[in-house]
């Protein structure tokens, strides 16, 4: 087996922003929950035990963001939670141009708000957009971008929004576990979370709804989730979400270590390729995320080559088909299309180690050297 095939040893997974490996304690809790019987809406003992498990998890998820348990509405994903937020208030959405597709596609007629070249929302543009709305709007700005890791000024967004009587929704899916979140300090009315970004199970998310804000449910048919989301709760997934939230809160002590590893990646790769660009490098960013280019090499080529070397990273804009498409985030930041097409995303998490960085740098460096050699060999002779 050649060196470019999967390397021996533990997997080198550096795509936590797409989804974190499930934590062992979460897997155990989910397995135990699957072995139990009971619908949490039933009044007999089995139902009451299932209800208790759901409510215990609700309290853990609420604690992660400084909310009250009764404000947490469990959903089938972060995307569903975003759709519920965008489509259930009866207000016209005003959204940042760098939002996740689950926000942009939930409100295709929303008013877009530009970002600066570092990827931070333009507060003056937001103020103008809200002033032009005929009625109080719903502002949706993510806490941290999934592609670049750039952290948005949500407290300032809230201040601008409130001056126009607007509600504020914040997609905090990527930020949870990677930075401290206090919902009340942010001031937002609606906040989205997802379990599988924390090392929890896939297929469960949450919308944190401030106070008694009225929402029209997207899914009707029962009184579950405070009548905001009908359907029997995914008890096992919710239990896993609760465990993941508790462990994620403890991981906040590790954010400085992740930032050190992220900075090491950027320093080592810059030494190999001074021409690379790190998107959002001049802004506040998540400790675990770097979005960078290998000039002249398509992102899809990089992802495939690194995968063959046993290193998993992400391209900034992967759609549901698994193919790499143009990044609306980098386009909104003003990146030339050719440069944006060469960007990959490296994201760290709970199981990341220093050895992962060495494997990434080694594999990336060998790919970079090969492409440069091919480029030189392809040049016509002169003289």
Name the residues annotated as catalytic. Answer: 319
Six-digit token string for 91: 């207000």
The CA distances from residue 348 to 159, 189, 289, 297, in Å, are: 32, 29, 7, 23
CB 99 within 8 A of CB 140: yes
Reference 311, options 353, 258, 260, 251; nearest CA is 353
Using CA atoms, how far apart are residues 50 and 42, in angstroms rounded to an integer? 9
CA dihedral 189, 194, 195, 196 (to 10 degrees): -160
Strand residue runs (E) in the chain: 12-13, 72-75, 93-96, 111-113, 138-140, 167-171, 190-194, 205-209, 289-293, 311-312, 314-315, 343-347
Count of CB atoms situated within 10 Å of the CB of 224:
19
CA dihedral 357, 358, 359, 363 (to 10 degrees): 100
Six-digit token string for 376: 């030189």
Count of CB atoms situated within 10 Å of the CB of 226:
14
CB 141 within 8 A of CB 154: yes
Six-digit token string for 253: 């002590």
Q: Are strands 205-209 and 72-75 parallel, antiparallel or unpaired?
A: antiparallel
CA 318, 324, 328 angle in degrees (round to 5)? 70
Reference 123, options 93, 85, 152; nearest CA is 152
Six-digit token string for 211: 């106070």
């Amino acid at each position: 087996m050649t060196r470019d095939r999967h390397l021996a040893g533990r997997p080198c997974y550096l795509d936590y922003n797409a989804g974190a490996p499930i934590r062992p304690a979460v897997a155990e809790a989910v397995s135990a929950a699957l072995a139990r019987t009971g619908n949490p809406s039933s009044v007999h003992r089995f139902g009451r035990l299932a209800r208790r498990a759901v409510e215990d998890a609700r309290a853990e998820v609420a604690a992660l963001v400084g909310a009250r348990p009764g404000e947490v509405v469990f959903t089938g994903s972060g995307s569903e939670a975003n759709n519920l937020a965008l489509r259930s208030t009866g207000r016209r959405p005003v959204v940042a141009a760098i939002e996740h597709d689950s926000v942009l596609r939930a409100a295709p007629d929303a008013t877009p708000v530009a970002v600066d070249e570092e990827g931070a929302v333009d507060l003056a543009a937001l103020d103008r957009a809200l002033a032009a709305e005929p009625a109080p709007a719903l502002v949706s700005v993510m806490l941290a971008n999934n592609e670049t890791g750039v952290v948005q000024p949500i407290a300032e967004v809230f201040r601008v929004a409130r001056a126009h009587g607007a509600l504020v929704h914040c997609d905090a899916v990527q930020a949870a576990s990677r930075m401290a979140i206090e919902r009340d300090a942010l001031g937002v009315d609606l906040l989205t979370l997802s379990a599988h970004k924390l090392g929890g199970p896939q297929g469960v998310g949450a919308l944190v709804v401030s106070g008694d804000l009225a929402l029209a449910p997207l899914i009707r048919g029962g009184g579950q989730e405070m009548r905001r989301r009908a359907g029997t709760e995914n008890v096992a997934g919710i239990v896993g979400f609760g465990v993941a939230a508790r462990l994620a809160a403890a991981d906040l002590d590790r954010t400085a270590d992740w930032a050190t590893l992220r900075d090491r990646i950027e320093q080592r790769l810059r030494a190999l390729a001074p021409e690379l660009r790190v998107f959002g490098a001049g802004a506040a960013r998540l400790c675990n995320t770097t979005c960078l280019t290998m000039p002249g090499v398509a992102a899809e080529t990089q992802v495939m080559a690194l995968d063959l070397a046993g290193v998993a990273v992400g391209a900034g804009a992967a759609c549901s088909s698994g193919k790499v498409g143009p990044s609306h985030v980098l386009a909104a930041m003003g990146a030339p299309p050719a440069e944006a097409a060469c960007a990959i995303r490296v994201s760290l998490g709970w199981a990341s180690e220093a050895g992962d960085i060495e494997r990434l740098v080694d594999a990336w460096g060998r790919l970079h050297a090969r492409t440069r050699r091919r480029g030189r060999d392809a040049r016509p002779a002169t003289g």
